[in-house]
């Protein structure tokens, strides 16, 4: 159970970060700016 809970916590942290990244990029576009490329891998 501990390993599954740790994985759930890790997954939540990662996907929560994606959520906020999307909010920031959306707000940036809404304000008329072109957001920078935030991709880590090419």
Residue 20 and residue 23: Cα distance in Å, rounded? 5
**For residue 9, what are the domain limits?**
1-42
Structural tokens at position 39? 């991709």
pLDDT at 1: 64
pTM above 0.75, yes or no: no
Summarised one tens digit per residue, pLDDT across range 3-19 is 989 999 999 988 998 89
- Write out the chain in H/E/C secondary structure: CHHHHHHHHHHHHHHHHHHHHHHHHHHHHHCCCCCCCCCCCC
Does the pLDDT at position 25 exceed 70? yes
């Amino acid at each position: 159970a501990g390993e599954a809970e740790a994985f759930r916590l890790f997954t939540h942290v990662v996907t929560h970060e994606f959520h906020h990244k999307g909010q920031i990029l959306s707000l940036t576009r809404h304000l008329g700016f072109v957001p920078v490329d935030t991709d880590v891998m090419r």
